[in-house]
Amino acid sequence: MRASDRTRHGMLATLFGRADEVMLELGAGGELMVARVRAALSLLILLLPLVAAAGGLGTRTVFVGLGLAVFTNLMAQVWLALARRQRRHAWLPYATGAYDVSMTTLVLSLLATRDPAAALNSVVVWNFYMLAIAITALRNDGRLAVCVGTLAIVQYAALAGVLMTGGETARPASLGYGVVSVAGQLERLVMLAMMTVVACAIVYRMQRLVLLSGRDGLTGLPNRAWLLHHAPRQLADARRDGRSLTLGLLDLDGFRRINAEAGPRDGDRALRDVAGRLEAMLDDGESLSRIGGQEFVLLLRCPVGSAWERLDRVRRTLAGETLAMDRDGRGIALSFSAGLASFPPDGCDVSALLGAADRRLQRAKRLGRDRVEARDG
């Protein structure tokens, strides 16, 4: 596969894959922000019936507008209440995105009952489609941007098709809005598609920035920030599914000696080698993070006994190899000590598990290092 194809596939995987925990948290905050803005704008909509009445429009039109404004405000409060319960409803961004688009279509349809040209050549109301697509970028989910953009294109295309093929209104026109043309409607559909692409590009950029901020520059592994955001979700999944989960805290023994005797470059190479070996032992759904200079955290989806066997196997393999040479050409042995903590017996949150694993790591060091401890004593 060519590099350009790999890049394209990587972009699509990042954009349309399930958002990670950091992106979901940011997206929940974005959904709440959108809900607050929607509620504020809905209050302003209450003024529109008063403006219509002052402009001399009929009583029926004023009451229809007032009913629509009241409905909009009620729904805005419902969406706001749901958004305040962040991460509780995974469907909420899709529901509110569809609502924003459908309300725009509804208003244009009401305009069409009086003047089809007003619906199809409207500037102010039609731009709410663009706004609905643009604010999907605040939810940090590329799938949402595509869904909302596609819905806007489909609904507006259907509305334009109905109004432009409706007998006497095949070419709607009015004094205030001019003549409706097929080219003009196609341009609007293209603009909706372009806004969807822009929203996706913003989401992708945000995802890349979050990914880079959650990675260790030397090893490419997730860092402490990533771990603190992702581990709670892994614990919640293990609790829901009734699965075992083991957290391992690992520290390289005498790593400073490698830096001192072999040099920082060889030290970095040895660190990456150890990281690669630990990463190779992971199964699906497991993770390895680098949280300090020579400290790593593993989250393994197995009981503590199985985790001990797997990690001790890596320890014994590592002890028989040379990963660095000192300045005189002599090999420098590299080993590690580790402490394991089991979820939920040793703790029900990340802090408690890290505390239990650290106690056992310190015990492993007191007992001579180069060992894996799974008990306090």
Radius of gyration of the chain, Cα coordinates, nearest whole angstrom: 29
Angle 92-114/142-164 helices, nearest 10 degrees?
20
The SS3 of residue 333 is strand
pLDDT surpasses 80 at 112? yes
pLDDT surpasses 80 at 238? yes
- What are the percentages of helix, strand and coil residues in the chain, rounded to 5? 65, 10, 25
CA-based nearest residue to 23, from 215, 204, 197: 204
Which one has a higher pLDDT value, 129 or 90? 129
The confidence score (pLDDT) of residue 331 equals 62
CA-based nearest residue to 70, from 110, 107, 43: 43
DSSP string, 222-269: B-HHHHHHHHHHHHHHHHHHT--EEEEEEEEETHHHHHHHT-HHHHHH
Burial class (CB in 10 A: 0-12, 13-18, 19+), 161: exposed
**Average pLDDT of span 350-361:** 93
Question: How many Å apart are CA 319 and CA 2, to the nearest integer?
Answer: 39
DSSP 18: P
Task: Compute CA 207 distance to the chain's CA centroid, rounded to the nearest angstrom.
Answer: 7
pLDDT surpasses 70 at 52? no
The confidence score (pLDDT) of residue 169 equals 46
What whole-number percentage of the chain has pLDDT above 70? 82
Question: How many Å apart are CA 124 and CA 44, to the nearest integer?
Answer: 15
Q: What is the pLDDT of residues 128-180, one digit of tens each?
A: 999 999 999 888 888 899 999 999 999 999 999 998 886 554 556 554 556 78
The confidence score (pLDDT) of residue 36 equals 92
Mean pLDDT of the chain: 83
Which backbone phi and psi does 178 adopt, to 5 degrees?
A: 75, -165
CA-based nearest residue to 149, from 201, 196, 94, 101: 196
**Average pLDDT of span 357-376:** 92
Q: Please give the model's pTM, rounded to 2 decimal places.
A: 0.64
Question: How many Å apart are CA 200 and CA 89, to the nearest integer?
Answer: 22
Highest mean pLDDT among 51-55, 119-123, 313-317: 313-317
The SS3 of residue 181 is coil
- Domain limits of the chain? 3-213, 224-373
8 A C-beta contact, residue 106 and residue 72:
no
**Average pLDDT of span 229-240:** 84
**Average pLDDT of span 268-290:** 88
What is the dotted CATH code of the domain comprising 224-373? 3.30.70.270
Question: How many Å apart are CA 114 and CA 164, to the nearest integer?
Answer: 15
Q: Please, what is the Cα angle at 289 between 284 and 291, to 5 degrees? A: 165
8 A C-beta contact, residue 117 and residue 160:
no
Question: How many Å apart are CA 9 and CA 15, to the nearest integer?
Answer: 10
Highest mean pLDDT among 188-202, 206-220, 244-258: 188-202
**Average pLDDT of span 105-129:** 86
